[in-house]
């Protein structure tokens, strides 16, 4: 064991290093440089903390695809012994997940708070909600999310405003997405979305699509999407064995870094003034650790009390000790192995 003197010397070095860290600068999100530094640190830390859960997701995905541990062990043993025999695999895991999928979405209905006063407004709200759900093809995405619930234990919705969408008589629209668990990096200290101080959403996009999506931002920076370089971060979101990784493809990773403002402030960006207060939701969007867009206050036309991230997490089997919840597969894998082993012995 190390001596008390060596422990004390190490502790003194750690304290000295901590004193040299400018924590005020780290929590100061007022400049682009500070935000980029914060994102780089928070992203790496959150990715490291999520790695343990990724191991569970990968194993669950293998079981869903009928690649079971016991069957692999028996198969490998037979190959080593030169026995031309493949063990039987019972597809119970796959059947269970698929049989639990309920793709139907709720039939929304709104009623007025009294006999007459706002019944018409309630009906209008009902029509708006049904339009948004149909316009975003929620029923198709709900099937995917139901499957994710069974395999990973969690599914997500992202509800946001896309100012670039245009149509007849309107500019901008409500957009609903269903990011996978592999595209979610929560605050490692949080147990739920609303507990987070920061919330990261990394995803891949074709470079041509990114150049159109961020055309004004790139012009302001004086750069093209290709000048931002290749990120080499496919492994961060393409985590499953069944996913094809091509390091030469034309995609690039976009990181949406959502965070809560720490203080009162006011900024004008591209002619738009943003007045924010502590707790307001802000968003920094980065490509290869270069901030291409910054929104000091995301919710502009909702109630002042809206200080929520635009993400919703839900589950079937909740966990009270971690952010990530349990899945059906996680609890039936051992039983699946026993069934495979029993059938192989017949």
| Gap between the Cα atoms of 123 and 325, Å rounded | 36
Predicted pLDDT at 18: 43
Cβ-proximal residues to 321 (8 Å cutoff; 6+ apart), any chain: 191
**What local confidence, expressed as pLDDT, does residue 156 receive?**
97
Per-position pLDDT tens, the chain of length 346: 444 455 566 555 555 544 444 444 557 888 999 999 999 999 999 999 999 999 999 999 988 988 877 777 767 767 777 877 777 677 888 888 899 898 888 788 787 776 666 788 888 888 888 889 988 999 889 999 999 999 999 999 999 988 777 777 777 889 999 999 999 999 999 999 999 999 999 999 999 999 999 999 999 999 999 888 777 777 788 877 766 667 677 889 999 999 999 999 999 988 889 999 999 999 999 998 999 999 999 998 887 788 999 999 999 889 989 999 999 888 887 777 777 777 766 6
Give the integer Cα–Cα distance in Å for 329 and 101.
14
In this structure, what are the phi and psi dihedrals at residue 3, rounded to the nearest 5 degrees?
A: -75, 165
The three-state (H, E, C) secondary structure of the chain, written as one string: CCCHHHHHHHHHHHHHHHHHCCHHHHHCCCCHHHHHHHHHHHHHHHHHHHHHHHHHHHHHHHHHCCCCHHHHHHHHHHHHCCCCCCCCCCCHHHHHHHHCCCCCCCCCCCCCCCCCCCHHHHHHHHHHHHHHHHHCCHHHHHHHHHHHHHHHCEEEEEEEEEEEEEECCEEEEEEEECCCHHHCEECCCCCCHHHCCEEEEEEEEEHHHHHHHCHHHHHHHCCCCCCCCCCCCHHHHCCCCCCCCCCCCCEEEEEEEEEECCCCEEEEECCEEEEECCCCEEEEEEECCEEEEEECCCCCCCCCCCCCCCEEEEECECCCCCCCCECHHHHHHHHHHHHHHHHHCC
What six digits make up the tokens of 21? 């860290």
What pLDDT score was predicted for residue 26? 57
pTM confidence score: 0.84
Q: What is the pLDDT of residue 23?
A: 45
Whether the Cβ atoms of residue 261 and residue 282 lie closer than 8 Å to each other = yes
- pLDDT for 1: 41
According to the model, what pLDDT value does residue 251 have? 87
The total of other beta-carbon atoms located within 10 Å of residue 62's CB is 19
In the prediction, which pLDDT does 345 show?
Answer: 67
């Amino acid at each position: 064991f190390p001596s008390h003197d060596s422990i004390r010397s190490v502790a003194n070095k750690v304290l000295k290093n901590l004193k040299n860290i400018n924590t005020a600068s780290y929590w100061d999100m007022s400049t682009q440089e500070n935000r980029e530094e914060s994102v780089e640190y928070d992203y790496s830390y959150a990715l490291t903390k999520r790695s343990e859960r990724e191991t569970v997701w990968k194993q669950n995905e293998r079981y869903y695809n009928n690649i079971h541990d016991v069957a692999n062990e028996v198969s490998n043993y037979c190959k080593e012994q030169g026995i031309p025999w493949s063990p039987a695999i019972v597809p119970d895991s796959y059947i269970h997940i698929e049989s639990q999928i309920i793709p139907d979405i709720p039939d929304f209905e709104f009623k007025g708070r009294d006999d007459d006063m706002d019944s018409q407004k309630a009906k209008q709200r009902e029509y708006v909600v049904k339009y948004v759900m149909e316009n975003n093809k929620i029923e198709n995405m709900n099937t995917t999310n139901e499957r994710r619930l069974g395999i990973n234990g969690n599914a997500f919705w992202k509800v946001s405003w896309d100012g670039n969408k245009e149509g007849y008589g309107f500019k901008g629209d409500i957009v609903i997405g269903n990011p996978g668990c592999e595209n979610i990096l929560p605050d490692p200290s949080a147990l739920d979305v609303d507990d987070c101080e920061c919330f990261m959403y990394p995803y891949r996009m074709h470079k041509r699509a990114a150049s159109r999506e961020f055309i004004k931002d790139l012009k302001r920076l004086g750069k093209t999407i290709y000048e931002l370089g290749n990120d080499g971060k496919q492994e961060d979101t393409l985590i499953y064995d069944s996913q094809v990784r091509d390091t030469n493809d034309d995609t690039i990773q976009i990181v949406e870094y959502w965070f809560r403002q720490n203080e009162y402030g006011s900024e004008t960006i591209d002619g738009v003034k943003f007045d924010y207060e502590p707790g307001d939701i802000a968003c920094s969007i980065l490509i290869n650790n270069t901030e291409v867009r910054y929104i000091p206050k995301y919710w502009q036309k909702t109630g002042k009390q809206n200080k929520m991230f635009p993400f919703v997490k839900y589950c079937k089997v909740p966990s009270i000790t971690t952010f990530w919840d349990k899945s059906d597969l996680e609890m039936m894998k051992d039983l699946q192995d026993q069934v495979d082993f029993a059938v192989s012995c017949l």
